[in-house]
Amino acid sequence: MPTFWFVRHGESLAQLDQWDGPDPDVPLSPLGEQQADALAEAVAALPVERVLVSPFLRARQTAERAARLLEHEHEVVEDLRERFAGSWITMRGSKLVDAKLAVWDFQPPHGESILQAATRAIRALHEIETEHNTAVFAHGRILAGVLALLDERDLTEPIEALDNCVLYPREIAPGRWARLLESLGG
């Protein structure tokens, strides 16, 4: 049974409120670069056969640093991109906004819910499913949503973002992505 290691990118400048450019272009902070570098030996010791990564810069930078000792090319998967917070994207950091964005099915204006983002990611993983052990570098809430579904968590509880540069391993039985999609009605 293949193992997947889910990894949220390293700390980004946006997490420090030091970025006002487009979300896809947010780079790692100096600490985020160190976090990704520190992860490299742990990733190299894993039996990773495939590396999937979000197209967003901070995830790509993390994958490049953390998986640099592997001999595998990184496959950019568009649907692993960050959950889109719509018009609320500039309001993150407020306790009220962050609490609403942690609700499973809350959809901010012109944005997507964690449910929608996790479903998008699961559909993409299903479409490229193989028996390979896989490292997935993406974003905190979308990956937390995927893990909540895999772990059959209580979805009425807030979905908190994963920690930066921590490996979250899960064994994924063949057909598991398809079964998750069926359970989500899609």
Long-range contacts of 20-27 (CB under 8 A, 24+ apart): 23/56, 23/82, 23/89, 24/55, 24/56, 24/57, 24/81, 24/82, 25/56, 25/57, 26/56, 26/57, 26/58, 27/57, 27/58, 27/61
- Please tell me what DSSP assigns to residue 91: G
Q: What is the pLDDT of residue 186?
A: 65
Pairing of strands 74-76, 167-171: unpaired
Q: Determine the Cα–Cα distance for residues 104 and 115; give it in Å rounded to an integer.
A: 6
Cβ neighbour number for residue 31 with a 10 Å cutoff:
15
**Domain harbouring 129, CATH code:** 3.40.50.1240
Low-confidence ranges of the chain (pLDDT < 70): 90-93, 186
68: domain range?
3-183
Global pTM value: 0.95
- Tokens standing for residue 65: 């640093």
Distance of CA 25 to the CA centre of its chain: 16
- Considering its fold, how many domains does the chain have in total? 1
Q: What is the pLDDT of residue 36?
A: 96
Q: What is the pLDDT of residue 57?
A: 97
Q: What is the pLDDT of residues 121-166, one digit of tens each?
A: 999 999 999 999 999 999 999 999 999 999 999 999 999 999 999 9
